[in-house]
Amino acid sequence: MRKILILFAHPAFEKSRINRILVNEIEAVKGVTFHDLYEWYPEMDIDVKAEQELLIEHDIVLFQYPFFLFGVPALLKEWMDLVLVYGWAFGSNGNALKGKWACHVITTGGNKASYSKEGYNRFTMKELLVPLEQTACLCGMRYLPPYVIHGTNVMKPERMQEHAEHYREMLRLLADQTFDPDSLTGLENLVDQFGKG
């Protein structure tokens, strides 16, 4: 069984609607380690060594968070800057993460149509996530398409629950050694594969 690490970052989890439902659904999935960064590091004092050890123990790293001004919440950026360092994650001898998979699981307020050239957000998610894709690439990780749930601000709880069940199915599949995650490469949004879009 593959081991999956979920690095979760939500600065106001107590107010969350969709991420709360997603997390409730997936916490008990076998092979999944759920790691809530804002709970562990409310003062942003990240234990770099502990985080690196956690990464080494897992095969797949999922970054789960609400989209904040077209990027990751501040603590997750801090985590990346401190944990993914030269000489460990990249650069000469920096190959600790080589061959592991990386995937971003993102919830957005904006709807799907807004994330297009013609939409009010002007860019696609793939375009907006380029620095994160390149970070994974720099670390020798295999970058999977993102799992993006759009339009969460106006979404009904029943629909959120459906998404959560699809998310759980994705985790089960990724954990299964007989499934090849590389077969997902090239898709635009994993939600289209595991959910109903």
> Which span (10-18, 28-36, 175-183, 184-192) binds ligand FMN, by CB under 6 A?
10-18
Task: Dump strand ranges (E) for 16-139.
Answer: 32-36, 60-66, 101-107
Site string for ligand FMN, 76-105 (x = CB under 6 A): ------------------------------
Q: Which of the ranges 1-9, 28-36, 66-74, 185-193 carries the binding residues for ligand FMN, by CB under 6 A? A: 66-74
Inter-residue contact 99 to 139 (CB < 8 Å):
no
Asked if residues 175 and 31 have their Cβ atoms less than 8 Å apart, the reply is: yes
Q: Which is nearer to ligand FMN, 66 or 145 (CB)?
A: 66
Per CB under 6 A, the list member of 26, 60, 84, 108 interacting with ligand FMN is 108
Part in contact with ligand FMN (CB under 6 A); list of ranges 60-68, 81-89, 97-105, 186-194: 60-68
Can you spell out the DSSP letters for 21-57?
A: HHHHHHTT-TTEEEEEHHHH-TT----HHHHHHHHHT
Residue 8 DSSP SS3: strand
Residue in 94, 109, 119, 140 binding ligand FMN, rule: CB under 6 A: 109
The pair of structure tokens assigned to 192 is 């289209």
For the chain, count helices (H), then strands (E): 8, 6
Which of 3, 16, 140, 159 touches ligand FMN by CB under 6 A?
16
The contact pattern for ligand FMN, residues 38-57, with x = CB under 6 A and - = no contact, is --------------------
